[in-house]
Amino acid sequence: MLKRLAPAAALSLLLAGGCSSEERSREDEAVPIVAQQLRVLPERERVEAVGTARAATSAEIYPESAGRVEQVMFSAGNFVRQGTPLVRLDSRRERLAVEAARVQVQEASQLLSRYRRIEDTGAISESQIEAGETALASARVELQQAQTALADRTIRAPFSGHIGLTEIDPGDRVDTATPIAQIDRRSTLYVDFPAPESAFERLQPGQVVAVTPFSDPSREIDARIIAVDSAISEEERTFTVRAAIENSGDTLRPGMSFRVVFSGAGQARPAVPEEAIVWGGDGSYLWAVRDGKAARVPITITSRREGLAFVDAPLNPRDTIVVEGVQKLREGQDVRIAKPPGKAAAKAPGKAGNADGE
């Protein structure tokens, strides 16, 4: 009886031991994965905005005095030099005032000369001579004032540039609040555009941005930033940037709209392959390998570029990211990093060649 029971008991113990070992092996078996070291790269920040051009120097011309227009001496679009007469007003009274002031200067000068001729004779006092000198100085001031008033009857170009349209005609009455025309020096144009607050450190004087006029979308112009506004708008969270462009061919005009594009290095962030990202009910996440085990890391994707996703996540630069095999993982599971198929295939021909040579 004992002889018959012994083989059966031994078999039972053997089977029991075998199942337990296999079970433990399955539990301890590491999941094979393909992983790579985490990369931290700067994001490429791209700023696009719409800017408006203005002339480097621009002025709205107004009369210095009121009066009737006698002559308009320009046409819209003309290039005029600084000091060129543009409009003449009726100046008859001003001319008479100049003549009267000259007469007063002459009389005061003659009177002072007579005083000085008889100064040594004692027939005239020192105070009378001083009064004569004061009268001459006053007459000269009145002459200068009359000449200035006469000069103001001619409206001149304040600087060299192109003159715009006017609604003034001979015979019109104008005053100091009547606009005559606008003059622009447009050999250089300024393009002002709004930029987001996040680009404040990167959009500084000296940087170059690309501007494209909406009137000619095929044309791209390099514009150099010359000034940045000192404050950021609290409502829009933007700031104004001014860039300068050359207009030597005079093909662009103040007031034109431009598409402005600037690309630069942004904030450094973890960059992971897009295939490493897993989407779940509570958002996106990825798997990192830490101490040989899988660790689930929630992420927020900030941007994408060339197959990489830039993420905001609690990652360490020394972390290893699971690229393949993410579907089989669970938190804390042991993992085994396998060689990517591409690398294994690349090494196979070399090994076969060595065997043939041997």
Q: CA-to-CA distance for 280 and 276, rounded, in angstroms?
A: 13
Q: Are 128 and 112 contained in the same domain? A: yes
Residues 273 and 256 in one domain: no
Residue 7: inside a domain, yes or no? no
Return mean pLDDT, the chain: 84
Model pTM score: 0.60
* Residue 296 in domain: yes
Residue 259: pLDDT over 50: yes
pLDDT for 223 beyond 70: yes
SS3 338: coil
Statement to judge: residues 280 and 198 lie in one domain? no
Residue 167, in any domain of the structure: yes
220 or 121: which carries more pLDDT confidence? 220
Determine the average pLDDT of the residues in 7-11.
Answer: 46
| 4 within some domain | no
Structural domain including 148 reads 65-174
Q: Is residue 294 included in any domain, yes or no?
A: yes
Domain of 203, CATH number, reads: 2.40.30.170
pLDDT above 80 (res 318): yes
> Residue 308: inside a domain, yes or no?
yes
355 in a domain, yes or no?
no
Work out the pLDDT band at 28, boundaries 50, 70, 90: low
Domain count for the chain, please give it: 3
Same domain, 203 and 239: yes
Average pLDDT over residues 100-127: 86
pLDDT for 49-102, tens place per residue? 999 999 999 999 999 999 999 999 999 999 999 999 999 999 999 999 999 999
In this prediction, residues 125-145 reach a mean pLDDT of 91
Identify the band that residue 344 occupies on the pLDDT scale cut at 50, 70 and 90.
very low
- Residue 303: the pLDDT is 81
